[in-house]
Amino acid sequence: MSTGSGTKAVVAALGANAGIALAKFVAFVFTGSSAMLAESVHSVVDTSNQGLLLWGHRTSRRRANQAHPFGFGRERYFYAFLVAVLLFTLGSAFGLYEGVHKILDPHPIDSPLIAVAVLLIALALESYSFRTALRESRPLRGDRTWWTFIRDAKTPELPVVLLEDSGALVGLALALSGVGLSVLTGNPVWDGIGTVGIGALLGVIAVVLIVETKSLLIGEGAGPELLAAIVEELARGEVDRVIHIRTEYLSPDDLLVAAKIALVADLPLHKVALAIDEAEQRVRARVPLAKLIYLEPDLDRGVSFGAKAD
């Protein structure tokens, strides 16, 4: 993956969740805890999700062809969206079903110490994965809040891992609470309540991811600061002003820029071509993400910046 795309965070999460899933399933076999089973499925889903994120990045690096002239960069967004759907349909739905079933038909937890030990080990591994995701994200986050970073990030892997890991930590706390209260009170219904909480938590995280990755998948433009920088570089030299401009992320590393620009009047043809080339060079020097730039010279008809023009 490219710099800042969260390779270490995804790999760390993949390794941690694979080991955690196995340990949780073994603990479920010995304890019969529905919260443990829900957490086992949660970890299996998370492991599959990290695999999908890595696969999506691999396939997105294919070269453009005639059928896909702008390349395959959006496959990273597609697989991130698929991750969100799987988290909702498998993790959340299963947790809610299993929790309701346990509440309606409660049965005692066998060997609760095994469940607690496994959950504590899982907390340690998830904490390591979460710290790795935080460390990878900080250079990209800048001065933004974590929520703003998750909402605005164009690289899908880090927000997905951050939300999954934070959800996993809260889910483990819910599982510990369910198992602990079931043992302390002698009422196994608490185990079912904890399981329902895990399912609801995964549902909320999945919905957030679905909304955000859907926005990226259908196409997002450059933010206000980046757009202003592009316009500033375009409107120099022989370019009087930008009549209108459109931008769109083709991948986290590729920004498409299409603009109609008003040039100085009565420029000869060779200077028009030179002015366009220089404008493209200025934009690429300041905004390296702008790898595809299409500029159309036009007469200045007084159309205001950003308005739709023919």
Where do we find the tokens 């990226």? 216
Give me the residues paired with residue 293 across strands: 257
- 261, pLDDT greater than 90: yes
- 42, pLDDT greater than 60: yes
- 165, pLDDT greater than 80: yes
C-alpha–C-alpha distance, residues 81 and 211, integer Å: 9
Q: How confident is the model at residue 1 (pLDDT cuts 50, 70, 90)?
A: very low
Q: Structural domain boundaries of the chain?
A: 7-218, 224-298
Q: Is it true that domain 224-298 has CATH number 3.30.70.1350?
A: yes
- 307, pLDDT greater than 50: no
Which segment of 33-37, 215-219, 279-283 scores lowest on mean pLDDT? 33-37
Are 167 and 205 within 8 A, CB to CB? yes
- 308, pLDDT greater than 50: no
Provide the percentage of residues in the chain whose pLDDT is more than 70.
94
pLDDT of residue 2: 42
Provide the percentage of residues in the chain whose pLDDT is more than 90.
21
Global pTM value: 0.76
- 3, pLDDT greater than 80: no
Q: How confident is the model at residue 303 (pLDDT cuts 50, 70, 90)?
A: low
Enter the tokens of residue 304.
Answer: 């205001």
Are 220 and 248 within 8 A, CB to CB? yes
Q: What is the DSSP string of the chain?
A: --TTS-HHHHHHHHHHHHHHHHHHHHHHHHH--HHHHHHHHHHHHHHHHHHHHHHHHHHHTSPP-SS-TT-STTHHHHHHHHHHHHIIIIIIHHHHHHHHHHHHS--PPSSHHHHHHHHHHHHHHHHHHHHHHHHHHHHHHTTS-HHHHHHH-S-SHHHHHHHHHHHHHHHHHHHHHHHHHHHHHS-THHHHHHHHHHHHHHHHHHHHHHHHHHHHHH-----HHHHHHHHHHHSSTTEEEEEEEEEEEEETTEEEEEEEEEEPTT--HHHHHHHHHHHHHHHHHH-TT--EEEEEEE----PPTTS---
Spatial CA neighbour of 3 closest among 222, 201, 252: 252
Q: How confident is the model at residue 295 (pLDDT cuts 50, 70, 90)?
A: very high
Q: How confident is the model at residue 253 (pLDDT cuts 50, 70, 90)?
A: confident
Q: How confident is the model at residue 221 (pLDDT cuts 50, 70, 90)?
A: very high
Are 41 and 94 within 8 A, CB to CB? yes
pLDDT in tens, 125-155: 888 888 888 888 888 888 888 888 888 888 8
Select the CATH number that applies to the domain covering 7-218 from these four: 1.10.10.920, 3.20.20.150, 1.20.1510.10, 1.10.3720.10: 1.20.1510.10
Mean pLDDT, all residues of the chain: 85
Q: How confident is the model at residue 293 (pLDDT cuts 50, 70, 90)?
A: very high
Where do we find the tokens 């479920």? 28
Q: Which of 38-52, 134-148, 240-254 has the highest mean pLDDT?
A: 240-254
Enter the tokens of residue 80.
Answer: 């991130």
pLDDT of residue 4: 43
pLDDT of residue 280: 95
Q: How confident is the model at residue 310 (pLDDT cuts 50, 70, 90)?
A: very low
